[in-house]
């Protein structure tokens, strides 16, 4: 279950979308109110702290595990700049070693695995390892790259053979030169999460349009604002579930009973 093909590429590993951060922040605050204390949070593959530091600023206690010493250095610097270094613990490791680093007893109220499931050797084992680290009632936050978005984006760009390969290959790649090690389908991700005793409470496709609209068409602040508003509308639209399947990333929150 060691890290696969280096660091993660693709949309799920880039800057966190507004939709993901908003949902995560709201859930963390609701859980804090229910527990009467800040959350104990593990960010596995958390890199430079794009998810962890905002949660620490909100008052939660963070443990970030990442294989890259450079990323962890940047994390510590970012945490210090925001004045939350005392609430962020940085540990070098990966999905193979996380149990040894943090202890095997379930302890975390929230575990984040964002843009990392694509690059581990065994996604099933990685999800199982996460589930084992959740305290009763704890939440797993998972962000993964989606297959159908890649099919559509390659087709619209005229790369029809690549689009067909992404659609047909089990790993969702267009070939061995594809920088994305793996892409997922929503149904398979939800089934994987449930197989490890977790109950999905939020499933949302994000960045439905943002990675399809050419940047040349977004040459004004009004254009960028309109695109952001369209993304917000798509995220809130429950009448057209297909839109979520077309997002470049999928966000799942699942709880341990």
Under 8 Å between Cβ of 91 and 63 = yes
In this predicted model, what pLDDT tens digit does every residue of 225-237 receive, in sequence order?
898 888 888 877 7
Question: Per DSSP, which regions of 93-185 are E strands?
Answer: 108-114, 134-145
Q: Would 129 be classed as within a structural domain?
A: yes
Q: Would 166 be classed as within a structural domain?
A: no
pLDDT of residue 17: 62
- Whole-prediction pTM: 0.87
119 to each of 68, 83, 196, how far by Cα in Å?
14, 32, 20
- Identify the DSSP state of 257: -
Q: Read off the CATH number of the domain in which 58 is found.
A: 3.40.50.150
Q: Would 125 be classed as within a structural domain?
A: yes
In this structure, how many other beta carbons lie within 10 angstroms of the beta carbon of residue 69?
10
pLDDT of residue 29: 95
Q: Which two three-digit tokens encode residue 37?
A: 């204390």
In this predicted model, what pLDDT tens digit does every residue of 60-83 receive, in sequence order?
999 999 999 999 999 999 999 999
Whole-angstrom Cα distance, residue 22 to residue 41? 16
Q: Would 218 be classed as within a structural domain?
A: yes
Q: Is 195 helix (H, G, I), strand (E, B) or coil?
A: helix
Q: Would 175 be classed as within a structural domain?
A: no
> Structural domain tally of the chain?
1
Q: Would 6 be classed as within a structural domain?
A: no
Q: Which two three-digit tokens encode residue 74?
A: 């940047």
Q: Which residues of the chain have pLDDT under 50?
A: 1-16
Q: Would 81 be classed as within a structural domain?
A: yes
Q: Nearest Cα to 93, choosing from 142, 132, 44? A: 44
Q: Which domain holds residue 249?
A: 11-146+184-256
Q: Would 113 be classed as within a structural domain?
A: yes
Length of the chain: 257
pLDDT of residue 6: 41
Whole-angstrom Cα distance, residue 132 to residue 24? 20
Under 8 Å between Cβ of 3 and 95 = yes
């Amino acid at each position: 279950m060691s890290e696969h093909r280096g660091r993660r590429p693709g949309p799920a590993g880039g800057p966190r979308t507004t939709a993901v951060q908003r949902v995560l922040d709201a859930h963390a605050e609701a859980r804090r109110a229910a527990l009467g204390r800040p959350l104990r949070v593990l960010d596995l593959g958390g890199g430079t702290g794009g998810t962890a530091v905002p949660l620490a600023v909100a008052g939660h206690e963070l443990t970030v595990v990442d294989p890259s010493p450079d990323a962890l250095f940047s994390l510590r610097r970012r945490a210090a700049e925001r004045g939350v270094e005392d609430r962020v613990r940085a540990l070098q490791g990966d999905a193979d070693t996380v149990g040894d680093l943090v202890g095997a007893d379930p302890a975390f109220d929230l575990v984040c695995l964002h843009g990392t499931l694509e690059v581990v050797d065994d996604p099933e084992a990685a999800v199982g390892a996460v589930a084992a680290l959740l305290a009763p009632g704890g939440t797993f936050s998972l962000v993964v790259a989606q297959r159908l978005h890649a099919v559509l984006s390659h087709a619209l760009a005229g790369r029809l053979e690549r689009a067909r390969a992404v659609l047909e290959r089990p790993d969702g790649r267009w070939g061995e030169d594809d920088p994305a090690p793996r892409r997922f389908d929503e149904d398979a991700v939800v089934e994987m999460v449930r197989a490890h005793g977790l109950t999905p409470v939020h499933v949302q496709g994000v960045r439905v349009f943002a990675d399809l609209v050419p940047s040349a068409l977004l040459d004004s602040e009004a254009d960028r604002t309109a695109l952001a508003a369209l993304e917000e509308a798509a995220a809130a639209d429950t009448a057209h579930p297909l839109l979520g399947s077309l997002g470049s990333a999928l966000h799942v929150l699942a709880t341990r009973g």
